[in-house]
Amino acid sequence: MKRFLTAVWLLVMVFAIPGLAGAQDHSVSLVIEGETVEPDVPPLIHNQRTLVPVRVVAEGLGADVDWDGETRTATITNDDTILKLQLDNPVAELNGQRVEMDAPPMIRNQRMLLPLRFVGEAMGITVGWEDLTRTVYVNQTYTVTINGEDVSGKVKIYQLKNEPYVEIETIAGKLGLDTRYQEENRMILDNYSENWEITPGKPLKVTQSSETTGLKSKKSGVVKQIDFKTVVPLRSLEDLTEGSVETDLKKREIHIERLRNVEGITVEDGVTVSIQTSAPVKPIDFTLVGPHRIVLDIPASVLSEEFLDSLGELEELKTDSDNSDIETGTKEEDSEQANDEMDSEDPEEPDQSEQVEENYEGQAGTGSTDEEDQKPASGIFVLPLPWEEEGPSNTEVKDTDSSSEEDKDVVDPEVKEQGVHEILDNLSPEEVIEKYPAIREIRFSQFEESPYIVRVVLELNRKSNYQIVSDENGLQIKLDPLPPKLGYLIVVDAGHGGKDPGAQGVSGNVEKDFNLDVAQRLVKLLKQYKEFQVVATRQDDTFLTLDERVQIANDMNADLFISIHANAYRPTSRGTETYYYHQRSKNLAHVIHRHLLNATGFPDRKVQTAPFYVIKHTDMPAVLTETGFMTNQYENQMMLKPEFRQKVAESLAAGIRDYYLNYE
């Protein structure tokens, strides 16, 4: 193979190098398999490419190189690879397939010039450019494995004059180590016991260590930048990764291993999940819906035999039903951000609120893959939870997509007797968690063995914010769950707020104040009904984005959403109107509008459909009310009166109660 590399260079290569415009007089060094090559004619720069003149192709080279003068075609044959290149033709033929090149072969001074980067990739050669020293490196490709996974196509090894150099950022990512840049080229690698400073052109050094403080040096070598990627000496890998590195330079094989044991999983105070590991780890986390789940993938890790043995009689979990989260990588689709109050899409567009995006390939959001049939490398296990021994401790409405209409109407006898808000208001946060657990189930598996990944899934009774804290003993996942859903949940949204005043009235008043006053009155009225659980999107003069309002309702699995507004247009414009978007909201809109219209006494502008963001993207029946026009002298004067606002709030409460009793 080495003789083949020399042959390719002797045939003459063109290597595109960024940043060489105008650098016609500077020399370029060539290093092939760690040895500097000096052709009889020095390399030169032409049209921002490095050219190396050809010599007579010698017999006995590792590859056969044939020249057809009639067709002006060179044929390079090596093992099972046949590459044909024709002068001035940008299309090559690789094993019978047409392939585009970045530059066509050409003749200069009776010598043929070839595009090196293309030939290198086609013939399995590693080619790299070091801009600092203006050096081109050419060598055979290495086989590289990380924890048993073949990453040869993702991690490049460059054979420099003294030793191999490896690209560190990709390796660190595969091992679950943290890398970050403090400056453009200054990388910090955290292996959880030491912080390494990695800067091209400078020696590797430790800036922070669990054993010592301050700066300390280690035998490591000088960092380089090849192909504008940070590379380090192969001999420094064990220090950098705290793993084991086995090399066979003759066979060109490098095997890197850094595995951490998952030694236990425990739950504390109902909202803190601890994952004990043999050394610090950095998980990849994402969320799923239907039901709400938090998924943690711990790279370069295995379930310890001691941990599995400690579970006693716990056997493999069912592997056939609701375990797609631990069998396949699926990530919740990001919600669309709201810039305008109204969307422009057609009202009949299918609801996409429950779609999820398959977007996982070793880490969340890096690519898509079809893994529906993928099974974990080992069985799936369920961790016993402390409160399960006492049986179900609550009748909280479960947040699943399989709930029937009948299930929605089931009300806890305690709720019927005391009322939702009476119960919640008399419980401390700790008592709420104890009575209504946030965690439904914790399951885990050896998700993959190539590469090694342990997956832990926290299935929740309701959505929860969370924070992950890593230390030398492992991980802590600290939950901040939403309140439990105990009754018929209504979200009351006071439109606008904070920096967004909404419409302006003829008296200088602003819409956000009217909306908030009516919403606060409505919340108080609705709380009088024991089976109603009421949540306000805002309780003061606070700005919320449209998407934040929607997420409050969707995250809490609300049963009804109402957004309160006032209108503005011409001074002569008058009337009350109610909007809905989805067909499921039509009955609610008509019931609310009938009650509201009787309260205002304003002209009837009817029930209408419109793609307002907050009623389009909510997952439950949702309406938006426009009480009257603040730009009309009479209607604005009425909306300034406290007694009128109370009357409006009472009509909305009556409408919601009417809908609940007769349509739900």
- 178-203 per-position pLDDT tens digit: 888 888 789 999 887 788 999 999 99
What pLDDT, in 10s, does the model give residues 157-169? Answer: 999 987 899 999 9
% residues pLDDT > 70 (the chain): 75
Higher pLDDT, 2 or 350: 2
Q: Return the ∠ at Cα 232 (arms to 231 and 233), rounded to 5°.
A: 135
Q: What is the pLDDT of residue 362?
A: 32
Mapping DSSP onto H, E and C, the string for 502-543 reads CCECCCCCEHHHHHHHHHHHHHHHHCCCCCEEEEECCCCCCC
pLDDT bracket for residue 380 (50, 70, 90)? confident
Q: Which of 34-38, 210-214, 509-513, 570-574 has the lowest mean pLDDT?
A: 210-214
Q: Has residue 48 got a pLDDT over 80?
A: no
What pLDDT, in 10s, does the model give residues 303-355? Answer: 998 888 887 655 444 444 455 565 544 443 333 333 345 554 443 333 333 32
Q: Has residue 60 got a pLDDT over 50?
A: no
Q: Give the distance, in angstroms, between the CA of residue 381 and the centroid of all CA atoms in the same chain.
A: 26
CATH code reported for the domain at 488-662: 3.40.630.40
Over residues 612-625, mean pLDDT: 97
Q: Has residue 413 got a pLDDT over 90?
A: no
Q: How far apart are CA 171 and CA 243, in angstroms?
A: 11
pLDDT bracket for residue 81 (50, 70, 90)? confident
Q: What is the pLDDT of residue 88?
A: 85
CATH code reported for the domain at 2-137: 3.30.457.10
Over residues 289-299, mean pLDDT: 91
**Tokens encoding 210:** 């669990």
Q: Has residue 541 got a pLDDT over 80?
A: yes
Q: What is the pLDDT of residue 360?
A: 30
Q: What single string gives the DSSP state of each residue in 551-572?
A: HHHHHTT-SEEEEEEEE-S-TT
Over residues 273-289, mean pLDDT: 91
Over residues 282-291, mean pLDDT: 89
Helix (H) or strand (E) holding 123: helix 116-123
First to last CA, the chain: 76
CB within 8 Å of 554: residues ≥ 6 apart: 353, 617, 618, 619
Higher pLDDT, 642 or 424: 642
- Secondary structure of residue 658 in the 3-state scheme: helix
Q: What is the pLDDT of residue 57?
A: 31
> For all residues of the chain together, what is the average pLDDT?
79
Most confident of 142-151, 265-274, 317-326, 497-506: 497-506
Q: Amino acid letter at 427?
A: L
**Tokens encoding 224:** 């380089």
Q: Is 86 in contact with 76 (CB distance < 8 Å)?
A: no
Q: Has residue 17 got a pLDDT over 50?
A: no
Over residues 173-178, mean pLDDT: 84
CATH code reported for the domain at 141-257: 3.30.457.10
Q: Is the pTM of this model over 0.75?
A: no
C-alpha dist (Å) from residue 137 to 4, 53, 142, 264, 339: 15, 17, 14, 47, 50
Q: Has residue 361 got a pLDDT over 70?
A: no
What pLDDT, in 10s, does the model give residues 544-566? Answer: 999 999 999 999 999 999 999 99
pLDDT bracket for residue 619 (50, 70, 90)? very high
Most confident of 98-112, 327-341, 400-414, 616-630: 616-630
Q: How far apart are CA 1 and CA 445, in angstroms?
A: 44
Q: What is the pLDDT of residue 503?
A: 96
Q: Amino acid letter at 487?
A: G
Higher pLDDT, 127 or 538: 538
Q: How far apart are CA 568 and CA 631, in angstroms?
A: 5
Angle between helices 2-11 and 116-123 (to 10 degrees): 150
Q: How far apart are CA 280 and CA 261, in angstroms?
A: 10
Q: Has residue 74 got a pLDDT over 60?
A: yes
| 261-481 CATH fold | Immunoglobulin-like (2.60.40)
In the chain, residues under CATH classification 3.30.457.10 are: 2-137, 141-257
Q: Estimate the share of the chain in helix, then strand, then coil, as percent rounded to the nearest 5.
A: 20, 35, 40
Q: What is the pLDDT of residue 313?
A: 54
In the chain, residues under CATH classification 3.40.630.40 are: 488-662
% residues pLDDT > 90 (the chain): 43
Q: Has residue 624 got a pLDDT over 60?
A: yes
What pLDDT, in 10s, does the model give residues 558-587? Answer: 999 999 999 999 999 999 999 999 999 999
Q: What is the pLDDT of residue 405?
A: 41
Over residues 104-116, mean pLDDT: 69
Up-side HSE of residue 299: CA atoms within 13 Å toward CB? 23
What pLDDT, in 10s, does the model give residues 480-534? Answer: 999 899 999 999 999 999 999 999 999 999 999 999 999 999 999 999 999 999 9
Q: How far apart are CA 6 and CA 285, in angstroms?
A: 48
Q: What is the pLDDT of residue 365?
A: 32
Q: Has residue 475 got a pLDDT over 90?
A: yes
**Tokens encoding 408:** 């929605």
**Tokens encoding 447:** 């998700």
**Tokens encoding 363:** 């880490």
